[in-house]
Structure 1
Amino acid sequence: MATSVLELQNAALSLEGNAGRVNILHDVSLSVVQGETLGLVGPSGSGKSSLLMLMGGLEQATGGSVIALGKDLTGMDEDTLARFRRDSMGVVFQNFHLIPTMTALENVATPLELAGHSDAFVRAEAELEAVGLSHRRDHYPAQLSGGEQQRVALARASAPRPQILLADEPTGNLDETNGAAIVDLLFGLRDKHGATLVLVTHSHTLAERCDRVVRLRDGRVEEKAKQEAAE
């Protein structure tokens, strides 16, 4: 029987807005097993990215529970959550989130250094080579194309060998060619390191590559067959 690495039970998320409290996610119950690739799809504003943020402890559930690798994220303070993400999760965002004053190599190596890895720069070089960017290691984000920046972000996310890899619209800011290359790299890194992958996407093609697809609508989960899942 496959081991569950992410388990949400009646998870809810409410946030304060200008017009008062807004309910974003409602009673979400969902299990993701080890090695699975799960696609989260649905209309804009349906709560896909918010659900991914709950899974990564980047937002705290305001109801229910979020269990990752046997740890209850809802019971952790910010420092503990940050250490847990650093050691166990990789996160890839649509907007790259690279540090502009650091080179590609430094962007990948710095989280490893903070985690206490003495071989941080050796590992960072290997990860940049894996995504085809060893020749750009000394370039700053502003000197890289969007596709290259996302490759650096992938290298940074995969360098610590995370058990869980989360990706929020990883191809959203890229053209079709670069997007396809990033998808191939993302799934290649998952296969290489055996990580569980959860990704948010609007792409039907990307959703079709997932083992399972879950649709969100109005902050609630609807599980659908793969061919029906993406719009």
Structure 2
Amino acid sequence: MTQTIFSLKDAALSLDGNAGRVDILHGISLEVMKGESLGLIGPSGSGKSSLLMLMGGLERATGGSVKALGQELTDMTEDQLARFRRAHMGVVFQSFHLIPTMTALENVATPLELAGDKDAFAKAEAELEVVGLAHRADHYPSQMSGGEQQRVALARASAPRPAILLADEPTGNLDGANGAAIIDLLFGLRDRHGATLVLVTHSQSLAARCDRVIRLADGRVAPLKQAAE
């Protein structure tokens, strides 16, 4: 029986800003199944990154329901959400988010150590090997290129073998060649570990590598035929 990884029903997000309340997402309903790859596309400001944040428990829905692995994220405390992400999710951002005072090896080992894994550094070293950076294990983020930093971020997200991989514009700060290499690695890691992947991208051709694509416009699901990326 196919397992439902994400189930959103009428999920909404509103945030308070300087100009008052801003409605960002309006009644999003969707399901993502185990092992599926889902591409989220749409113009800037359409809400695709906000939707990814809801799915990762990094933003809390202000309406509707957001379930991951059968658990209602909107009912969890911040500590519970952090533990849930650590146990089940790997997240890759456009801006890498590496810890600058840690080496590549230490960055990858950190989530494993937090999970109590006694083999954290051995597993981190193996993961750096997979992304082709074993020779850079002792280098700090400032000593690496953008492409190398994103490889480290991918290794860090994948090392705990999460059931879910979330990627928000992972090639946004990279040139074409490095971006293509990162996407190949991302899909390779997803295939190797059987993870469910949700990918936010501006690129329709990149999203087309996913099993399914959803387009957002003005915080709502929109027909794909209107896409013009």
Normalising to structure 2: TM-score of the pair?
Answer: 0.98
Partner in structure 2 of residue 151 of structure 1: 151
Q: CA deviation at 1:205?
A: 2.2
Alignment match, 2:99: 99
Q: Does 72-81 or 1-10 show the bigger shift?
A: 1-10
Judged with a 3 Å threshold, the aligned counterparts in structure 2 of structure 1 residues 93 and 57 are, in CA distance, closer, same or farther, namely same
Summarize the alignment of residues 1-231 of structure 1 with structure 2, pairs less than 5 Å apart: 1-224=1-224, 229=227, 231=229
- Give the drift of 1:203: 1.3
Cα offsets for 1:91-147 (capped at 9, x unmatched):
000000000000000000011101100100011001100000000000000000000
Runs of 5+ consecutive residues of structure 1 not aligned to the other structure:
none
Corresponding residue SS for 2:94: coil
Which amino acid is 2:68 matched to? A
Q: Whole-Å Cα distance in 2 between the matches of residues 203 and 138 of structure 1?
A: 34
Secondary structure of the 2:213 match is: strand
5+ long unaligned stretches in structure 2: none
Once the two structures are TM-superposed, the CA of residue 229 in structure 1 deviates from its matched residue by 4.8
Q: CA RMSD in A?
A: 1.1
The ranges of structure 1 where at least 4 consecutive aligned residues each deviate by more than 6 angstroms after the TM superposition are none
Whichever residue aligns with residue 86 of structure 1, its letter is R
Q: Give the Cα–Cα distance (whole angstroms) in 1 for the partners of residues 110 and 166 of structure 2.
A: 19
* Cα distance in 1 between the residues matched to 2:223 and 2:93: 24
**What is the one-letter code of the residue matched to 1:177?**
A
Deviates more, 1:172-181 or 1:198-207: 198-207
